[in-house]
Amino acid sequence: MANLLTPDICVIGAGSAGLSVAAAAAAFGVEVVLIEKGLMGGDCLNYGCVPSKALLAAAKAAHTQEAACRFGVHGDKPKVDFAEANDHVRRVIAAIEPHDSQERFEGLGVTVLRETARFTGPDEVLAGAVRIKARRFVIATGSSAFVPPIPGLEDVPYLTNETLFQLRDRPEHLAIIGGGPIGLEMAQAHRRLGSKVTVFEAQKALGKDDPELATLVLDTLRAEGIDILEETAVEKVGRSGAGLAISAKDADGKPVTVEASHLLVATGRAPNVDGLGLKEAGVDHDRKGIAVDKGLRTSNRRVYAIGDVAGGLQFTHVAGYQAGLAIRSILFRLPVSMTSDIVPWVTYTSPELGHVGLSEAEARSRYGDKVKVLTAVYAGNDRAQAEGLTKGRLKLIAGPRGRLLGADIAGAQAGEVINLLSLALSMKMTMKDLAGFIAPYPTLGELVRRAAISYYAEAPKNAWLRKAIGFLRLFG
């Protein structure tokens, strides 16, 4: 007979979402069982956000040294040791690992089981030799790289985000299938570290972002030597000598063949649902993930699903946000509702590309001619001029009564600037609020205030205001 545990909450998956739920519940003295079959920290720590940003940092260091001549700083071209860059990635992961470790969570009072979890019924999970009957279950198993059914792909060596960061030797020519954030971040990182890079994208690269600002980023990447083939669908992959041959067709049906030494597949994510016993649990799901309501509950009211496995926006910060909602619902019985409109995202290329709220098209669809698009360019910002970072643009989407509906930004530190705008959006701030705050000079944050002030650009031409000023002048 398997051992039986009866905690208040059973969490399946020790990635960002699961760890957040487990830590919060334990902090309130609630009994929690956390089950993880793989590495603690999940995809974000081991294969995703952390290693990718560490590699981008190494690439930025190489590029900064090479571009230093713009500031009168001259020296030899940097010599890149790809293995040492990979060592930096390992060190960053190792520095963060203790925070997500089994030891830390056991110290918090969480029972951690390093096993595969499978539902055996609507209120029971089996993990190795342990049965868990809990009041509530939280599925937070995340997602894995989606590998499309391209002919020949299964017969050649290819990389995904789970294997890319194991490379010790620099790819001579890295071909990437997928022109989304992951594909383009890794394209720029490897290009700056000395690889030749070709990106295939069947539709438009960065297609979920503002088209004008996405073009600004793509133009920069192309100027750095990255070959980005948009509207070019890969049809076949095979071997070619010591490398690979990627065969595709462009929008006009013209065949395109690229030979490369390495291939990275970055075509999106697939939810980790296999083997969970969701049928036995009475939990509905499809290829996009587990179906949840606005309160993140599944078709089995005992079971919640959060993070990538629930589909929708797949970001670490969304996983954390959903974990907070789940805790409020489970522990305090509070009504909660997932609100996608306030979720920001950033693509960490150089320049960065950030977004929050409604896009310009979405805002016009909802509010019509009541929408105003306000802009500020990096070239008009003194800090950007001082640092030679003048490629960039900020857009604020203002709705009725000047309320902030959304924002898009392409440029240096876009991710940091979007933080302010994410707060402003969640607090339902207006252009009056954004025009009225004091930004320290000189900072890139002044872009926000400058764009907001332009909402009132027509005020000096208002005849009634001019008359009011004239009347007040009569009093001295």
The length of the chain, given as a count of residues: 476
Cis peptide before 157 (omega within 30 of 0): no
**Torsion angle, alpha carbons of 37, 41, 44, 46, to 10:** -80
At 461, is the secondary structure helix, strand, or coil? Answer: helix
Long-range Cβ pairs for the range 285-293 (8 Å, 24+): 289/143, 290/139
Ligand-binding annotation for 143, yes or no, is: yes
CA–CA distance, 139 with 298 (Å, rounded to integer):
10
Long-range Cβ pairs for the range 247-255 (8 Å, 24+): 248/200
Ligand-binding annotation for 180, yes or no, is: yes
Ligand-binding annotation for 268, yes or no, is: yes
Q: Are 305 and 272 in contact (CB under 8 A)?
A: no
Which residues, at least 6 apart from 327, have a Cβ–Cβ distance to it below 8 Å?
20, 21, 24, 25
Tokens found for residue 331: 């522990």
At 237, is the secondary structure helix, strand, or coil? Answer: strand
Tokens found for residue 139: 């599925």
Ligand-binding annotation for 201, yes or no, is: yes
At 291, is the secondary structure helix, strand, or coil? Answer: coil
Ligand-binding annotation for 66, yes or no, is: no
CA–CA distance, 197 with 190 (Å, rounded to integer):
7
At 468, is the secondary structure helix, strand, or coil? Answer: helix
Distance of CA 337 to the CA centre of its chain: 21
Burial letters for 255-273: b for 16+ Cβ neighbours within 10 Å, e otherwise? Answer: ebebebbbbbbbbebbbbb
Burial of 39 (0-12, 13-18, 19+ CB in 10 A): middle
Ligand-binding annotation for 261, yes or no, is: no
H or E element: which one contains 184?
Answer: helix 181-192
CA–CA distance, 177 with 184 (Å, rounded to integer):
10
Could you say which DSSP state residue 419 is in?
H
Ligand-binding annotation for 313, yes or no, is: no
Ligand-binding annotation for 107, yes or no, is: no
Ligand-binding annotation for 402, yes or no, is: no
Q: Are 171 and 195 in contact (CB under 8 A)?
A: yes
Ligand-binding annotation for 42, yes or no, is: no
Full strand arrangement of the beta sheet holding 345-347: 345-347, 352-357, 404-411, 393-398, 372-377
> Which residues are registered as beta bridge partners of 139?
12, 305
Ligand-binding annotation for 430, yes or no, is: no
Q: Dmax of the chain from CA atoms?
A: 94
Residue set of the binding site for NAD(+):
178-185, 201, 268
Residue set of the binding site for FAD:
53, 141-143, 308
Residue set of the binding site:
53, 141-143, 178-185, 201, 268, 308
